[in-house]
């Protein structure tokens, strides 16, 4: 795969992220900050949030599979994207329990492989979670004061 082919695929992935329903799903996911596997399962089972959750996590798992199988250059992908890291950081602490509860040991397997290959992945995931907590708290505070 050439750099130009990787760039084309990355741009196609970007175009998919701009679709209206996907934008809504991504906005929902940014504000979703689960504190347990049960909260994630609740989001999956809730008819109002299920499609959003599934749309975002399967999108990033699919994109990661392209990278893992060499269809997209990994360095180029990670330079162009950060959202997949944020999404995974929210789910990663509960992944073993989710896999067990849902009876699927492969849930987010592609995304996990891609992210865990990155230097200092565990530390970066923890920092992403802390940053998101602060962002959500600041957002809530701004809403109260508006």
* Three-class DSSP labels, the chain: CCHHHHHHHHHHHHHHHCCHHHHHHHHHHHHCCCCCHHHHHHHHHCCCCHHHHHHHHHHHHHHHHHHHCCCCCHHHHHHHCCHHHHHHHHHHHHHHHHHHHHCCCCCCHHHHHHHHCCCCHHHHHHHHHHHHHHHHHHHHHHHHHC
Task: State pLDDT tens for residues 81-133.
Answer: 889 999 999 999 999 999 999 999 999 999 999 999 999 999 999 999 898 88
Q: What is the pLDDT of residue 79?
A: 93
Q: In whole angstroms, what is the distance from residue 6 CA to residue 144 CA?
A: 44
In percent, the amount of the chain with pLDDT more than 70 equals 100
pTM for the model: 0.90
Mean pLDDT of 41-62: 97
| Banded pLDDT at 52 (limits 50, 70, 90) | very high
What confidence score (pLDDT) does residue 42 get?
97
- Can you give the residue ranges of every domain in the chain? 3-141
Work out the end-to-end distance of the chain between its first and last CA atoms, rounded to an integer number of angstroms.
Answer: 50
Q: By the 8 A CB rule, do 37 and 101 touch?
A: yes
Counting Cα atoms < 13 Å in the Cβ hemisphere of 80 gives: 19
Mean per-residue pLDDT, 37-60: 97
């Amino acid at each position: 795969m050439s750099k130009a082919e990787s760039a084309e695929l990355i741009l196609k992935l970007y175009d998919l992220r701009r679709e209206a329903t996907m934008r809504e799903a991504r906005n929902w996911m940014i504000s979703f900050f689960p504190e347990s596997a049960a909260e994630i399962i609740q989001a999956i089972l809730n008819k109002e949030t299920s499609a959003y959750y599934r749309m975002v996590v399967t999108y990033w798992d699919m994109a990661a599979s392209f990278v893992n199988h060499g269809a997209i250059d990994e360095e180029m992908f990670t330079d162009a994207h950060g959202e997949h890291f944020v999404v995974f950081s929210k789910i990663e602490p509960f992944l073993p329990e989710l896999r067990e509860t849902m009876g699927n040991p492969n849930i987010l397997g592609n995304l996990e492989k891609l992210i865990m290959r990155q230097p200092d992945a565990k530390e970066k995931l923890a920092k992403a979670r802390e940053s998101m907590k602060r962002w959500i708290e600041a957002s809530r505070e701004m809403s109260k004061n508006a």
